[in-house]
Structure 1
Amino acid sequence: MNDHELASYIAEKAGLELLKLRDAAIATGINSWVLRDKGDIFAHNLIMDELGAHRPDDAVLSEEGVDDRSRTRASRVWIVDPLDGSQDYPYRGSEEWAVHIALVEDGQIVAGAVACPSMDRLYSTATPFPKQRNISNPMLVVTNRWNSYQAAHVAEVMGARLASCGSAGVKASLVVGGEADVYIHNSGLYEWDVCAPVAVARAAGFVACQLDGTDFIFNKEAPVARGLVISHSELINDVLNILNTK
């Protein structure tokens, strides 16, 4: 498998196994907090095993792993969020969670995949999803559930609707899948939150950048991101102008 195919394979496998784990655990009456943590660690271990088997010489940055800072000296680094939206995962029928797998080389994205198992969706740089060019009327801006005032401001100025949901991967999938037009997340993000969503959005022809319009550099010593914007190219200038006008 090449890197694109491997990212897709691991994301899909981890997502399907997480579905099985959730169904079996809920049947036992497990506490939701226990199941959330169980899912995080289960998916992390599965992903680490797969990467160890297929790419043993590559470094890994995982939300659930110990951050070995020697990764900053590595050229190839897999950046993964084993269970994005873990707070939503442990509830039967919840769709707002995802698995993020991405590869960067020298700070730039090479490959990535986002699996949204409960939505039966897999977005990957292996087979980029066709870009949906039709912009909604009125437009739909999606954002996170808290600190969403900047997204609300953009929606108000552009005459758009505003919606919120969990998981950066799910919100990115709504834009890539043509159900939303812009995704704005203003704070509280790490590289594992944004790397795979940025990979699949760009592969599908959308623009993805930080809140101030600058590009991402991944595998930094402090793996934080200055927000995230994913948008139709036709809308990005207006969105960034509104976000960055004081």
Structure 2
Amino acid sequence: MTVDSNDLKLAGRLATAAGELLLDLRATSGLTGKELGNAGDFRANEFLLKELARLCPDDAVLSEESSDDFVRLEADRVWIVDPVDGTREYGTEGHTDWAVHVALWERDGQTGVGALSVGAVALPALGVTYVNDGAPIEPADGLAATPRGDRPRVVISGTRPAAFSEAVAAAVGGELLSMGSAGAKAMAVVRGEADAYVHAGGQYEWDSAAPVAVAKSQGLWCSRADGLTLEYNQRDVFLPDLIICRPELAETILEVTRQA
């Protein structure tokens, strides 16, 4: 599918602007913890919905923070957004592992089959936004809690680690590293801070749509834990498991996760 550069720029601009709004709220509201997380979810969602309605009035939107009216199932273009991915981390002082996700799903006019075309992941606390334009992304180690050694790193959820996490790490001869939001973990693999991200603790389409679009544009393997394709804009938006990894690790990891 051909990516429209205007959609790409819009996704990046909206994710970045929502992130800046969240940083300002974090710095000036006096709120902390769950109250800050709730306020951030509301404000960022309000901003994204307003801008998408103004700039793309004919498009549908699927957002974590809004009711799903299923109009999107008949639409040719559906924006899939997570206003604050990692609300717990956003509400916790000092955490940078939270994100804003903006993705676009489009239906092919000839085949009727839809797929992700655009994805933007903003990491506001780090001052960066990644989009799926395929441009090289410089290796980095800014999110890592410990110095990087020679062993592969497998990032997992700190609150809902997959039952197969330790088995995956053992299979690749690696070590586990807990991080916050799905977007932060996926971008850790994109940036070369980690080598794989495995999850099976429950997610929804908005958790992975934008990160998967960016990761795929960088040549990374992205699939369900059983190796099947990740499908978006489905009636049931529950998408509980995810593998994002360096391609050469995919089969080794899937040998473990397929049996789980």
Paired AA for residue 126 in structure 2 = M
Instruction: Give the 4+ runs in structure 1 shifted more than 2 A.
Output: 126-132
**C-alpha deviations, 1:31-84, integer Å up to 9, x for none?**
422111100000001101111121110000000011111111111100000000
Contact 1:210 1:227 in 2 (8 A): yes
Distance 1:190 1:208, change over 3 A: same
Tell me whether 1:139 sits opposite 2:145 in the alignment: no
2:226 is paired with a residue of what secondary structure? coil
Which residue of structure 2 lines up, in the alignment, with residue 230 of structure 1? 244
Distance 1:58 1:204, change over 3 A: same
1:71 is paired with a residue of what secondary structure? helix
Contact 2:172 2:249 in 1 (8 A): no
Which residue of structure 2 lines up, in the alignment, with residue 15 of structure 1? 19
Contact 1:58 1:78 in 2 (8 A): yes
Distance 1:213 1:47, change over 3 A: same
* Pairing 1:48-197 to 2, within 5 Å after superposition: 48-106=49-107, 107-126=114-133, 128-130=135-137, 137-145=150-158, 146-197=160-211
* Pairing 1:190-229 to 2, within 5 Å after superposition: 190-229=204-243
Gaps of 5+ in 2: 108-113, 140-147
* Pairing 1:4-43 to 2, within 5 Å after superposition: 4-26=8-30, 30-43=31-44
Deviates more, 1:79-88 or 1:105-114: 105-114
Paired AA for residue 117 in structure 2 = V
Contact 1:136 1:180 in 2 (8 A): no
Contact 2:99 2:122 in 1 (8 A): yes
Shift of residue 227 of structure 1?
0.6
Contact 1:131 1:176 in 2 (8 A): no
Q: Distance in 1 between matches of 2:75 and 2:221?
A: 27
Gaps of 5+ in 1: none
Paired residues in the alignment total 241
Q: Quick one: percent identity of the two aligned structures?
A: 40
Q: Distance in 2 between matches of 1:129 and 1:151?
A: 29
1:224 is paired with a residue of what secondary structure? coil
Contact 2:18 2:100 in 1 (8 A): yes
Contact 1:148 1:186 in 2 (8 A): yes
**TM-score where L is the length of structure 1:** 0.93
RMSD, aligned α-carbons? 1.7
Q: Distance in 2 between matches of 1:88 and 1:31?
A: 11
2:103 is paired with a residue of what secondary structure? strand
Contact 1:143 1:183 in 2 (8 A): yes
